[in-house]
Structure 1
């Protein structure tokens, strides 16, 4: 009999990630689009069928249907797109059943945790069978990844410590404190517009130069460092630097509000897609603190959810990896 896999699920406003104990690590843009046009060229495209509706997911949705990322909404998990993204990850992993740990933004966790669990379990009626082991605040996933072992004990160097975590996602910036490996519920913050504030700034700059552009293309434009307008190439070095500064400043403001100074913490973990985008700038901003940025920070929460799942399911795991 095939065993039910353990999976760490991170369905975000910018990206959807899944990490399983079978070694799968998946990350896709959280784009979805219904297939309403039978004339669309769908050869070699993976379609997701959910409740008898065909969906495009990820890059296919953006390329063929110009889909948009979801709006930041505390109850997004009730929308069919959330289930479609989850179904896509499960399909890619070759399963319809899993034992999972997932998370919610800090500001939504207390109010929506029970409803999210009920929603996930209700999907059994449409062929998705999930045993929800835990729903934790999203930044805590990265703490599990870097600081905890599968028995729920602190790794060496994290015993009896006060750790701040800032998770820079696509739609939110979340922060929380863990003291002696316990969540400090009185010390947390959530701000709207995570990495999106950098993309919005860059998009506005390009449009201001009279160049047609879509905000969904900004990740690729930022990676290229330039944009083409006919035969001309416009360098974006300065506006990219300014857009990153907006993200770093948002993190710095949260750190000041919660902890006055990052040096008051035993460690500051900065994680999420924004940590990958602004790694150098963040390391410089918090050079006097013990700052830790995971390898592949966009996957750190999902990897931590898997570690948490192993702990709660009583299973052993492979060693962690991370960089400071």
Structure 2
């Protein structure tokens, strides 16, 4: 299948992707950003008439097989789930495997423009490497995929573009907005006048949702007297507002979340020091999978500024990247 634009937000927590379906609607997908080594033998196939098949695919990167997909296991012995939380994540084989998984599950085989995002603070450092690695004919063990051009944008730009679609009259050249993208491993912010980024007031720091989950795990371990490695299950319980099951008990995570607030406050304070008081900003646009965890602290930090939490914040960047790519393709065709 050929598509003009394919947008992928390979996040530390989840991999999200979007493209324009044949019907004209926007198709999206998402799966956990976990890429454990594929099992050397698949025992599950012996029970295929009884057990439901898992939606996963084996991806080959440099002759090593990784398993990715919506049904990848959230748990593993001693916490080795295949999650990569490093600043150079975009250069890792885990990143490549997750991107390949998004391409596989969408069914696209030829892409005119592949749009990827990077955290603000390391965009310039890794942009060229991503463009070089993922342009051309790619083979991840599931057949060839052709990518004609790769575009890399700062991750919060996707949310800015998406928010502007709902309030077009508020995004003129002289209208300032602050986009805060709370990811799994980093929190990024983009200060924009219209759609022009102010480099001095745009940045990001390690410290997204995962630092809260790790803090909660440490607090539970203290109370239970047992090590807690199940960060992925804590993430899932928080997103679903469900208790955390641990050794036969349902644990309410709300008290532990409250005890983790100082971590959020520290990140928000660092952002405040960079962007200032925001007296001329029309809105703070909040997106990312960790948006709900940071919303109250951000509202407290900027009490006189409109705070907009984007619908389906986890998919916001991918949908915005798609809009960026489609506008770019349309402009090139007009000028071509």
Give the TM interval when normalised to the shorter protein: 0.7 to 0.9
Which of 77, 87, 100 does residue 90 from structure 2 map onto? 77
Kept in 2, the 8 Å contact 1:276–1:298? The answer is no
What is the match of residue 294 of structure 1? 310
What is the match of residue 184 of structure 1? 198
Give RMSD over aligned pairs: 2.6
Q: Alpha carbons of 1:101 and 1:230: their partners in 2 closer, same or farther (altered >3 Å)? A: closer
Kept in 2, the 8 Å contact 1:276–1:296? The answer is no
For structure 2, the residue ranges without an aligned partner over 5 or more in a row are 332-336
What is the match of residue 252 of structure 1? 268
* Residues 33-42 or 113-122, more deviating: 33-42
SS of aligned partner of 2:81: coil
What is the match of residue 151 of structure 2? 134
Q: For the residues of structure 2 that align with 1:229 and 1:183, how far apart are their CA atoms?
A: 45
Which of 73, 79, 104 does residue 62 from structure 1 map onto? 73
Kept in 2, the 8 Å contact 1:9–1:19? The answer is yes
Aligned length: 308
> Which TM-score applies when normalising by structure 1?
0.84
Spell out the pairing of 1:1-324 with structure 2 (5 A cutoff): 3-22=2-21, 23-42=26-45, 43=48, 44-45=53-54, 46-50=56-60, 53-58=64-69, 60-63=71-74, 65=76, 67-74=81-88, 76-98=89-111, 99-121=113-135, 124=138, 127-147=144-164, 155-159=168-172, 160-210=174-224, 211-213=226-228, 214-222=230-238, 223-230=240-247, 232-244=249-261, 246-247=263-264, 249-279=265-295, 282-283=298-299, 285-314=301-330
Q: Alpha carbons of 1:48 and 1:227: their partners in 2 closer, same or farther (altered >3 Å)? A: closer
> Which TM-score applies when normalising by structure 2?
0.82
Kept in 2, the 8 Å contact 1:276–1:297? The answer is no
What is the match of residue 321 of structure 1? none
Q: For the residues of structure 1 that align with 2:290 and 2:16, how far apart are their CA atoms?
A: 15
SS of aligned partner of 1:115: helix
Q: For the residues of structure 1 that align with 2:73 and 2:248, how far apart are their CA atoms?
A: 26
CA-CA distance at 1:144 after TM superposition: 1.2
Q: For the residues of structure 2 that align with 1:57 and 1:197, how far apart are their CA atoms?
A: 23
1:160-187 superposed Cα distances (whole Å, 9 cap, x missing partner): 2111111111111111211132111222
Q: For the residues of structure 2 that align with 1:70 and 1:123, how far apart are their CA atoms?
A: 26
What is the match of residue 319 of structure 1? none
SS of aligned partner of 1:258: helix
Q: For the residues of structure 2 that align with 1:50 and 1:5, how far apart are their CA atoms?
A: 25
1:286-305 superposed Cα distances (whole Å, 9 cap, x missing partner): 44212121101111111110
Kept in 2, the 8 Å contact 1:133–1:313? The answer is no
SS of aligned partner of 1:67: coil
Q: For the residues of structure 2 that align with 1:201 and 1:97, how far apart are their CA atoms?
A: 43
1:97-149 superposed Cα distances (whole Å, 9 cap, x missing partner): 22221111111111221121001115536523223352111111111111269
CA-CA distance at 1:3 after TM superposition: 3.9
Q: For the residues of structure 1 that align with 2:306 and 2:196, how far apart are their CA atoms?
A: 19
Q: Alpha carbons of 1:29 and 1:119: their partners in 2 closer, same or farther (altered >3 Å)? A: same
